[in-house]
């Protein structure tokens, strides 16, 4: 088994960013050697801090599927297409933030910019938009592959903007608060790439549980054997197209997540035994 999970609104409470209700379940998964892959809109810097807080040493996926960070030595050798730095082997299906910013600047000249974007926002504005602390907001703006926009225009303008981004070779994804502009990737594509990497090294098929609360999680839920939609206190659950094994949690955030994982691995689980072990 492999579990891919969103952070905000899933492993972390939407408002308080607390992970406490998920801690015992995360520890139990670790004991059972079931890797939890953190897969979020967040940046590398943010993820490094959260991985520590969550006691997680597995690969992780940043900026909505833009890059996969694999701790060096996690697999017997470096995956073929990965580049490496001092700590990680890095697969990068995404685009570069500077190319996205160049597109935004050009697009704004012609169509205006009915949004607040991180690159031109002050730290105080990011704090106000996210509820993060100052140093956390700084880490959130340490981006390499994507740009979050706090949309201030109407829905129609947003759709037209998304179409122009696509035509320019980028894509857009709606997160809990922001519209993210990124390369032609998403959480599902990156999860699949990482799953194949696990399978190549273990020479075994691995099954995937994915969990998330927002529209930007749907691609990841779609590639999973079991999909968990975590209920949000802030927005309705996203519409999931047909999925044969879908759970929607009763509780919100990390409590909902822990309950769902508990149900899947419980002795009297409604899931077939071969799905449990």
Query: With contact defined as beta carbons under 8 Å apart, do 66 and 92 qualify?
Result: yes
Q: Write out the binding residues for ligand 2M8, residues 96-135 only, by CB under 6 A.
A: 130, 132
**Per CB under 6 A, 56 contacts ligand 2M8:** no
Query: With contact defined as beta carbons under 8 Å apart, do 260 and 40 qualify?
Result: no
Q: Write out the binding residues for Mg ion, residues 21-50 only, by CB under 5 A.
A: 40-41
The verdict on whether 6 is a catalytic residue reads yes
Out of 93, 214, 254, 256, point to the residue binding ligand 2M8 (CB under 6 A): 214
**Per CB under 6 A, 176 contacts ligand 2M8:** yes
Select 250 or 276, whichever has its Cβ closest to Mg ion.
250
Tell me how far apart the alpha carbons of residues 105 and 242 are, in angstroms, rounded to a whole number: 38
**Per CB under 6 A, 39 contacts ligand 2M8:** no
**Strand bridging mode 67-71 / 60-62:** antiparallel
Tell me how far apart the alpha carbons of residues 136 and 131 are, in angstroms, rounded to a whole number: 10
Tell me how far apart the alpha carbons of residues 102 and 17 are, in angstroms, rounded to a whole number: 32
Select 18 or 245, whichever has its Cβ closest to ligand 2M8.
18
Out of 13, 213, 219, 259, point to the residue binding Mg ion (CB under 5 A): 213
**Per CB under 6 A, 254 contacts ligand 2M8:** no
**Per CB under 6 A, 177 contacts ligand 2M8:** yes
Out of 103, 115, 178, 265, point to the residue binding ligand 2M8 (CB under 6 A): 178
Annotated active-site residue in 6, 13, 186, 217: 6
CB-based contacts of 89, cutoff 8 Å, min separation 6: 69, 70, 71, 72, 74, 75, 78, 79, 82, 83
End-to-end, the C-alpha distance of the chain in Å comes to 8
For tokens 């992970």, the residue is: 19
Residue 259 binds which one of ligand 2M8, Mg ion, none, with CB within 5 to 8 A depending on kind?
A: none
Least Å distance, CB 24 to ligand 2M8, is 24
Residue 252 binds which one of Mg ion, ligand 2M8, none, with CB within 5 to 8 A depending on kind?
A: none
Out of 2, 5, 8, 47, point to the residue binding ligand 2M8 (CB under 6 A): 8
**Strand bridging mode 226-231 / 208-212:** parallel
**Strand bridging mode 115-117 / 147-151:** antiparallel
Neighbours of 153 (CB within 10 A): 15
Residue 213 binds which one of ligand 2M8, Mg ion, none, with CB within 5 to 8 A depending on kind?
A: Mg ion
Residue numbers annotated as active site: 6
Residues in touch with ligand 2M8 (CB under 6 A):
8, 41-43, 46, 130, 132, 140, 148, 175-178, 214
């Amino acid at each position: 088994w492999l579990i891919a999970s969103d952070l905000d609104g899933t492993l972390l409470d939407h408002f308080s960013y607390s992970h406490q209700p998920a801690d015992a379940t995360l520890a139990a998964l670790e004991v059972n050697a079931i890797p939890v892959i953190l897969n979020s809109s967040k940046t590398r810097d943010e993820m490094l801090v959260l991985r520590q807080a969550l006691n997680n040493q597995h690969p992780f996926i940043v900026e909505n599927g833009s890059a996969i960070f694999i701790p060096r030595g996690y697999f017997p050798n470096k995956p073929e297409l990965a580049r490496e730095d001092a700590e990680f082997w890095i697969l990068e299906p995404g685009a570069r933030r500077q190319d996205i910013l160049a597109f935004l600047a050009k697009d704004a000249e012609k169509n205006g910019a009915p949004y607040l974007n991180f690159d031109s926002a002050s730290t105080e504005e990011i704090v106000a938009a996210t509820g993060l602390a100052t140093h956390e907001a700084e880490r959130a703006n340490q981006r390499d592959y994507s740009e979050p926009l706090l949309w201030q225009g109407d829905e129609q303008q947003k759709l037209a903007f998304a179409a122009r981004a696509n035509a320019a070779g980028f894509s857009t994804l709606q997160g809990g608060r922001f519209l993210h502009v990124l390369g032609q990737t998403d959480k599902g594509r990156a999860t699949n790439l990482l799953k194949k990497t696990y399978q190549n090294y273990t020479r075994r098929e691995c099954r995937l549980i994915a969990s998330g609360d927002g529209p930007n999680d749907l691609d990841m839920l779609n590639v999973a054997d079991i999909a968990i939609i975590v209920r949000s206190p802030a927005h309705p659950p996203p519409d999931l197209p047909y999925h044969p094994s879908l759970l929607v949690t009763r509780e919100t955030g990390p409590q909902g997540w822990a309950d769902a994982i508990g149900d899947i691995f419980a002795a009297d689980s409604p899931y077939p035994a071969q799905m449990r072990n």
